[in-house]
Amino acid sequence: MDKNDLQVVLLTKRELREYLQSPKQQRKYPLPFSQNKSQWLLSKPGLDENDPLAVMAVSGGELLSFAHLVPDFLSSSGQGSGTKIFWIVQWWAAPSAKSTVISTYVFSEALRLSNNRVLTKAYEENADTFYKKQPFSVIASMDRHTIFLGLAKDMVNQKLRLPNWSSPITRLMESISMKCYNIINSSRVNKLTKDLDLRYMNQLDGEAWDFIEPYLQNDLAAKDLDQVNWQLDPNQYVSKPWKHGKTDGSKIRGFAERIGIVSFLVYRNEKAIGFVSFHYIHSTAYMKYCVANNADMAGVCACLYKNLYELNISYIFTDNQTLAEHFTKTLSVFYQYRQTKKSMAHNTLHKELQVSHLAEQDGHFI
In the 3-class helix/strand/coil scheme, how is the chain assigned residue by residue? CCHHHCEEEEEEHHHHHHHHHCCHHHCCCCCCECHHHHHHHHCCCCCCCCCEEEEEEEECCEEEEEEEEEEEEECCCCCCCCCEEEEEEEEEECHHHCCCCHHHHHHHHHHHHCCCCEEECCCCHHHHHHHHCCCEEEEEEEEEEEEECCCCHHHHHHHHCCCHHHHHHHHHHHHHHHHHHHHHHHHHHHHHHCCEEEEECCCCCHHHHHHHHHHHCCECECCCHHHHHHHCCHHHCEECCCCCCCCCCCCECCEECCEEEEEEEEEECCEEEEEEEEEEECCEEEEEEEEECHHHHHHHHHHHHHHHHHCCCCEEEECCHHHHHHHHHHCCCCEEEEEEEEEEEEHHHHHHHCCCECCCCCCCCC
65 to each of 27, 113, 115, how far by Cα in Å? Answer: 18, 16, 20
Q: Which amino acid is at 120?
A: T
d(CA 241, CA 246): 14
Domains 3-120 and 144-340 share a fold: yes
Is the CATH number 3.90.870.10 carried by domain 3-120?
no
pLDDT for the residue numbered 79? 45
Strand pairing class (315-318; 284-292): parallel
Among candidate residues 307, 335, 302, 341, the one with its CA nearest the CA of residue 321: 341
Distance CA(231)–CA(204), nearest Å, equals 11
- Domains in the chain: boundaries: 3-120, 144-340
pTM summary value: 0.91
**Residues in the chain, overall count:** 366
Contact yes or no for 84/269 (Cβ under 8 A):
no
Domain 144-340 CATH superfamily: Gcn5-related N-acetyltransferase (GNAT) (3.40.630.30)
- pLDDT confidence of residue 78: 44
Please tell me the predicted confidence (pLDDT) of residue 92: 93
pLDDT digits (tens), the chain, 366 positions: 555 678 999 999 999 999 999 998 888 889 999 999 999 999 999 999 999 999 999 998 899 999 999 999 998 644 445 689 999 999 999 998 887 899 999 999 999 999 999 999 877 766 777 888 889 988 888 999 999 999 877 776 666 666 676 677 777 888 889 999 999 999 999 999 999 999 999 999 999 999 999 999 989 999 999 999 999 999 999 998 888 777 778 888 899 999 999 999 999 999 999 999 999 999 999 999 999 999 999 999 999 999 999 999 999 999 999 999 999 999 999 999 999 998 999 998 877 776 568 899 999 998
